[in-house]
Chains A and B, each alone.
Chain A
Amino acid sequence: MAYRIGVDIGGTFTDLVLADGRGKVHLAKTPSNPADPPVAVRAGLDELAQAVGLTRGELLVETDLILHGTTVALNTLLRHDGAQVGLLCTKGFRDSVEIRLGYKEERLDRAYAAPRVLVPRRLRLPVEERVSKEGDVLIPIKLEDVRRNVQDFRREGVESVAVCFLWSFMNPEHERRAGTLVQELLPAAHVYLSVDVSPQIREYDRTSTTVVAAYIGPTVDRYISRIEDFVRLEGYQGELRYVQSNGGIAAADAVLKRPAVLVKSGPSSGPTAGLFFSRHFDIDNIVTIDMGGTSFDTCLVRDGLPDVIPSSDVTRYRLSIPTVNVNTIGAGGGSIAWIEAGLLRVGPQSAEAEPGPACYMRGGTKPTVTDANVVLGYFNQQALLGGKFPINAEASFRAVEENIANPLGLDVTQAALSIHNLVNRNMANAIQEISLERGHDPRDYTMVVGGGSGGAHAWSLAQALGIEKVLIPKLASTFCAVGALAADLRHDYGVSYTRRIEDVDFERVNDAFKGMEDEGRRELLAEGVHAENVMVQRRMELRYIHQIYEVPVSVPNRRFQVDDVPMLVELFHDEHERLYTYCDRQESCELINLGITVTGKLPTVRLRRGAVRSNGVKEGPPPTRDVFFEEFGEWRPVPIYGGLRFPTKKALLGPAIIEEPTTTIVVVPGCHIALEPNGIYVMELGGRHGG
């Protein structure tokens, strides 16, 4: 049997999903062990092995692919415990990571502090050299400066060096010579050149990306060694691949060269996971949501393509790395409800895993979204996680009563309902930001739900947005691990070449495209992808002459010549119109960047009948519990289904609560729900599902 395993290591839980090659899938969820991540992976592997009747060693021998999403890079940025970095830059430009772009992200916060700079000024050292915008050498590099600066680096214990010179993407020679010399003088150091990490115009963006790479690089390197050693010692012989910020996967070598591609590893799998499920219904316009303990991630997928943006700010550091456009807000089961100016607020602060919601009885006294769901009867009153995790419902009641109900003069039920509704409103706003505000009507999309807390809020959220169909897989709580499992290999390459379109030297463009494509194919070949499974997409990033931001435009996969200019300009106008509702066909445009994406298709995983464990129907009516629904305005007994006993292919009309082992689904009155044999719940408005 050739197994494939997706592994997503988050801050709270380590999720594993196993596909057996015949359309059956198993999941394991274990508490993370931040000090030593493999410990949780080992526990998860044991659980999976047990599910397929093997030992851990046997399972690994029969597994040929492990796909891994990890928050190691992001956590290094969040915790500020990355490497001591040294930066070599063009003389006169050492402060670009300190000056940044000059604006505050929080404009009304008068005392909003500057973000911590990842490389101190005394280690941002100038090198005399200068290349022109054409790539001509104006001032030859003074290697003596490099030698002198490296002495400072050595004295200060620098373990990772970033090199970023002006216009290096037009002529990388100075950067390469400096990099070679640094490596010679500091053989143990990691060295990252901006032309390798992000060869694109805008010195602040490029420097920031290279510095982030240098900052997280050594940590990522150690982490990958640790994981690889671990699986090899366990007897694993197959391939280990990593989820990148672009949602695709890559081998360790590719990741280590450009560690910044790992910063959004994890959440970037959301769209892939969503598509994995929705394609069983031939749906490829989806909104994915992933609501966990502390945060809510949402992403839009149009025509089967996740929204990938060329650059973004991650924890206030600019990264020019293609990244799946996931909108993240502080809304999760642990989000804390509080009062400001006599009005209720929920989040963004979270009780996290420790101390957690009040009902966890781990010292948390503040009311959270989970507590509100307990008070309303949506969640089991004795234990969560299918009985594995005991809770105290009384503590939830007290927390809501003392902190919200009493100060606002509400009864506890109203207060809990308000918390539930308000967090829904916050999440609806986050979805509007990536849909309506970008010109996409959410009513044209299907919602695919992930995360342990998603099922309790999905239907209300969908109703608020006018979404008519919601898919909740039994695998919802391991959403990103599924995304990793279903991902293809993907590499993005880009290079800047700035010219008015009519002045473009197309030989140069063709050479640049060919160079990037060759590199991509080489990389995929090294990762074991055969040529017939390689897809290449080319793009040009163009803009009107007076614009600041360029628009990525897909262009044909062939050589270009001057005669192609009108065709390229038309493609640009069309794309501009699609994105911004208008274009100016009288105006000309300029080329800024060339880009290529190479994708290596992996064999597709598909869920079959009985894909996810289920124990069949139990005779007799389900038990009930008192639940409060706003639609009824009162407490009523509502049937409670154990997820393992829910009948397939039989539509059921809400109200109902379905308690899956790792998630709870709230079926609001008026909502129809049916479980497909492949383990995906489908929710639709009552009356639509033939019910």
Chain B
Amino acid sequence: MKSNLDPITVKVLWDRFVSIVDEATVAQHRTAFSTVVREANDFACSLLDTRAGTLANSQYGLPSFVSTQAITLQHMLKVFPLESLHPRDVLVTNDPWIGTGQAMDITILSPIFRGGDPIAFAGSVAHSPELGGAQRWNRSVDVYEEALRIPPMKLYDAGRPNQTLHDTIRHNSRLPDLTIGDLEAQLAAVHLTTTRLLEVMDEYEMEDLEDLVAQIYGRSEAAMREAIEAMPNGVYEAEVWSDSFPDPLAEGDQLASEPIRIHVTVSVDGRDLLVDFGGSSPQQPGSFNSVWTFSTAYAAYALRTILVPLLPNNAGFYRPLSIQCPEGTVVNARFPAPTLSRHVIGHQVCDAIFASLAPVIPEKVLAASGSCPVWDLLLMGDDESGRAYHRLILVNGGGGASAHQDGYTVAFPGNFSNTPVEVMESVMPLLWECKEVVIDSAGGGRRRGGFGQRMACTGLRDIGYSLINGRVKFPPPGLLGGRPGRVGRVVIDGSELLPGSDGRLGAGERLILETPGGGGIGPPLEREPSYVIKDVQEGLISLGHAEDVYGMIIDPTTWSWIPKPPRLR
């Protein structure tokens, strides 16, 4: 078959590139050793062009990982210029500032050669099982405490392993076999991407990807610009307030700062869009700091879900975007700040973008999610038979409302899965007494948010915990007159914990987690009254909530209602 780039060939090849990285993703998933990769899907694969643009990425990868690989490659090419590379070179780094924002993630990139010339790169990034560090998850004071630092290096030089680096990684990991095993899985994925790309190019008799890249990026860029152009020109601003977190250097539980502000200005100018996070709070002493790569990735993700939600991701979408994250702020902490909990701040970038554009494109935004940030609960100790366990549980809150849908209990923007109560009880000395939605926790609105969940358990033995959470003080805001969701809370034997706490749950002590509800959209008084009545009938909201938020005094015997005076509906 001849390579002629009619729209059909472009579409077929584009689909095949997505299939190639999907296949590589599955290969990495199947061959990975660690459960983080295998079960939390904390990894992604990409195909990139030689100018460091993303050509295709796996459909199941985390939003952040799929776009940071391009940034990593840009930096790699400064250290290792394109013309200096050889076939079967593999470049590696875990530097948060040119990678995923967290030192636990390893990015590898390998040039793909055809006819003696590099024509593309295969990439893979994965959360490593163990890379050393002080293991004070939410208490690290700088990046040196968080993991071994791997600067941009060659892991393989023309196919020859860099033994020094392999040994260094192995000797700096508490789980050397798992860590090296997962790195091998990344290599398998990169090799598969390389092989498959060359097969497709053979089939279509393609010498290089130049034409095709131009076509794919051009079409994606045009679609993005068209969507931007459909918005009115203007400068749109919003801020979201995040809880602040304990100061790792302080004695006891003291918050590091005043609340954290994430401020964004979005300028729509014809077919261009400028995002500026100027005005955000200064960087934090603890690990609750995002890095520009990660903040940019989530900002772009939010914009893509608004503007072109259905088209596969590639560099074309980023061309009309300019995203600025001032250095020294919480969205772009300066080296050597600790950044292990960067997602707590980074996820909330989405809420800020949605809020800024809500007045202009109310149909397309989401109110803030109670799972933004998602809650990570790390539990560790010895079980009944004296064996050690170490389990990470992800607990989501209520999703935000959209113009057409109520929110529900879901993990947005991360897309993690909950652990069933019976599984938790089977592997840890805990007895759960409930897992239910939190009544009245959803933010009211024409469309309401999703409900948070309430989970309570009793420790059967002493259990160590470490909690990375948020939205305990500042609720997930509503949009366009919608109310915020209810804040979350964490209580041990009657006393409330600060966000980002760690400590011990003693045997017989009771832990209560209540995750935040999602924000609502539109004025609650505009909600269709039958929906309010249905929520009361279902026991999701109380009669008092219906009256306070929706202005409806409902008679629970006849289900008739009258407006609450003196308001008019």
Residue B165 CB within 8 A of the other chain: no
Contact between chains at A98 and B409 (CB < 8 Å): yes
Residue A526 CB within 8 A of the other chain: no
Flag the segment in B243-251, B421-429, B490-498 that touches A.
B421-429
Known: A203-B421, A503-B385, A549-B39. A582 touches B219 (CB 8 A): no
Query: Nearest CB to that of B387 among chain A residues?
Result: A500
A185 to chain B, nearest CB (A): 23
Contact between chains at A104 and B15 (CB < 8 Å): no
Query: Nearest CB to that of B394 among chain A residues?
Result: A102
Known: A114-B410, A340-B310, A341-B219. A102 touches B418 (CB 8 A): yes
Q: Which residues of B contact A113 (CB under 8 A)?
A: 405, 408
Residue A314 CB within 8 A of the other chain: no
Known: A166-B421, A201-B422. A110 touches B305 (CB 8 A): yes
**Residue among B23, B26, B35, B423 making CB contact with A201, cutoff 8 Å:** B423
Interface string of A390-425 (1 = CB under 8 A from B): 000000000000000000101000100010011001
Contact between chains at B426 and A498 (CB < 8 Å): yes
Residue A93 CB within 8 A of the other chain: yes
Known: A93-B434, A549-B39. A410 touches B6 (CB 8 A): yes
Flag the segment in B85-93, B150-158, B260-268, B537-545 that touches A.
B537-545
Contact between chains at A429 and B15 (CB < 8 Å): yes
Q: Which residues of B contact A437 (CB under 8 A)?
A: 22-23, 26-27
Residue A96 CB within 8 A of the other chain: yes
**Residue among A91, A94, A343, A439 making CB contact with B10, cutoff 8 Å:** A343
Residue B31 CB within 8 A of the other chain: yes
Known: A103-B410, A342-B219. A120 touches B538 (CB 8 A): yes
Interface string of A542-553 (1 = CB under 8 A from B): 000011110000
Chain A CB within 10 A, most for which of B220, B385, B402, B421: B421
**Residues 353-402 (chain A) with a chain B CB within 8 angstroms:** none
Query: Nearest CB to that of B390 among chain A residues?
Result: A546
Residue B412 CB within 8 A of the other chain: yes
**Residues 7-39 (chain B) with a chain A CB within 8 angstroms:** 7-8, 10-12, 14-16, 19, 22-23, 26-27, 30-31, 33, 35, 38-39
Q: Which residues of A contact B435 (CB under 8 A)?
A: 92-93, 95-96, 99
Known: A108-B309, A203-B422, A408-B7. A546 touches B437 (CB 8 A): no
**Residue among B30, B31, B537 making CB contact with A122, cutoff 8 Å:** B537
**Residues 299-318 (chain B) with a chain A CB within 8 angstroms:** 304-306, 309-311
Q: Which residues of B contact A167 (CB under 8 A)?
A: 422, 425
Interface string of B423-454 (1 = CB under 8 A from A): 10110000111111100000000000010010
Contact between chains at B426 and A201 (CB < 8 Å): yes
**Residue among A99, A121, A202, A429 making CB contact with B539, cutoff 8 Å:** A121
Known: A94-B436, A99-B435, A122-B538. A436 touches B223 (CB 8 A): no
CA of A490 to CA of B221, assembled, Å: 54
Contact between chains at B436 and A95 (CB < 8 Å): yes
Q: Which residues of A contact B26 (CB under 8 A)?
A: 437-438
Query: Nearest CB to that of B218 among chain A residues?
Result: A342
Residue B416 CB within 8 A of the other chain: yes
Contact between chains at B415 and A107 (CB < 8 Å): yes
Q: Which residues of B contact A436 (CB under 8 A)?
A: 23
Contact between chains at A344 and B11 (CB < 8 Å): yes
Contact between chains at A111 and B404 (CB < 8 Å): yes
Residue B420 CB within 8 A of the other chain: yes
Query: Nearest CB to that of A169 among chain B residues?
Result: B422
Contact between chains at A110 and B366 (CB < 8 Å): yes
B373 to chain A, nearest CB (A): 14
Residue B411 CB within 8 A of the other chain: yes
B257 to chain A, nearest CB (A): 31
CA of A122 to CA of B418, assembled, Å: 24
Residue A581 CB within 8 A of the other chain: yes
Residue B290 CB within 8 A of the other chain: no
CA of A203 to CA of B422, assembled, Å: 6
Interface string of B504-533 (1 = CB under 8 A from A): 000000000000000000000000000000
**Residues 90-146 (chain A) with a chain B CB within 8 angstroms:** 91-96, 98-104, 107-111, 113-114, 120-122, 132-133, 138
Q: Which residues of B contact A421 (CB under 8 A)?
A: 8, 12
Interface string of A565-605 (1 = CB under 8 A from B): 00000000000000111101000000000000000000000
Residue B417 CB within 8 A of the other chain: yes
A401 to chain B, nearest CB (A): 16
Contact between chains at B437 and A98 (CB < 8 Å): yes
Contact between chains at A121 and B309 (CB < 8 Å): no
Contact between chains at A422 and B11 (CB < 8 Å): yes
Query: Nearest CB to that of B374 among chain A residues?
Result: A102
**Residue among A100, A425, A500 making CB contact with B12, cutoff 8 Å:** A425
**Residues 450-471 (chain B) with a chain A CB within 8 angstroms:** 450, 453, 456
Number of interface residues of B (CB under 8 A): 77
Q: Which residues of A contact B326 (CB under 8 A)?
A: none
**Residues 75-110 (chain B) with a chain A CB within 8 angstroms:** none
CA of A99 to CA of B436, assembled, Å: 8
Residue B381 CB within 8 A of the other chain: no
Q: Which residues of B contact A132 (CB under 8 A)?
A: 431
CA of A437 to CA of B437, assembled, Å: 37
CA of A687 to CA of B394, assembled, Å: 58
**Residues 105-122 (chain B) with a chain A CB within 8 angstroms:** none
Known: A99-B418, A102-B418, A343-B219. A547 touches B38 (CB 8 A): yes
Contact between chains at B311 and A580 (CB < 8 Å): no
Contact between chains at A547 and B39 (CB < 8 Å): yes
A62 to chain B, nearest CB (A): 51
Q: Which residues of B contact A410 (CB under 8 A)?
A: 6, 8
Residue B181 CB within 8 A of the other chain: yes
Contact between chains at B540 and A121 (CB < 8 Å): yes
Residue A205 CB within 8 A of the other chain: yes
**Residues 263-315 (chain A) with a chain B CB within 8 angstroms:** none
Contact between chains at A102 and B39 (CB < 8 Å): no
Interface string of A437-452 (1 = CB under 8 A from B): 1110000000000000
Residue B396 CB within 8 A of the other chain: yes
**Residues 317-376 (chain A) with a chain B CB within 8 angstroms:** 340-345
**Residues 55-108 (chain A) with a chain B CB within 8 angstroms:** 91-96, 98-104, 107-108
Query: Nearest CB to that of A345 among chain B residues?
Result: B11
Contact between chains at A429 and B385 (CB < 8 Å): no
Contact between chains at B11 and A103 (CB < 8 Å): no
CA of A342 to CA of B432, assembled, Å: 54
Known: A422-B12, A437-B23. A202 touches B420 (CB 8 A): yes
A404 to chain B, nearest CB (A): 10
Query: Nearest CB to that of A99 among chain B residues?
Result: B409
CA of A133 to CA of B419, assembled, Å: 16
B1 to chain A, nearest CB (A): 8
Mind listing 28 A-B residue pairs with CB under 8 Å? A91-B434, A92-B434, A95-B435, A95-B453, A98-B409, A99-B409, A99-B453, A100-B409, A101-B417, A102-B417, A103-B410, A103-B416, A104-B411, A108-B310, A109-B309, A111-B404, A166-B422, A203-B422, A341-B220, A342-B222, A343-B10, A414-B6, A425-B12, A437-B26, A437-B27, A547-B35, A548-B423, A581-B30
Closest 7 CB pairs of A and B: A92-B434, A114-B408, A111-B402, A418-B8, A121-B538, A437-B26, A343-B11
Name B's A-contacting residues (CB within 8 A). 1, 6-8, 10-12, 14-16, 19, 22-23, 26-27, 30-31, 33, 35, 38-39, 177, 181, 219-220, 222-223, 304-306, 309-311, 364, 366, 371, 385, 387, 390-391, 394, 396, 402-406, 408-412, 415-423, 425-426, 431-437, 450, 453, 456, 537-540
Additional pairs, 15, CB under 8 Å, beyond known A342-B7, A547-B39: A92-B436, A94-B436, A100-B409, A111-B404, A114-B406, A121-B540, A166-B422, A203-B420, A341-B223, A418-B8, A432-B23, A436-B23, A547-B35, A549-B38, A584-B177
Name A's B-contacting residues (CB within 8 A). 91-96, 98-104, 107-111, 113-114, 120-122, 132-133, 138, 166-167, 201-205, 340-345, 408, 410, 414, 418, 421-422, 425, 429, 432, 436-439, 498, 500, 503, 546-549, 579-582, 584, 630
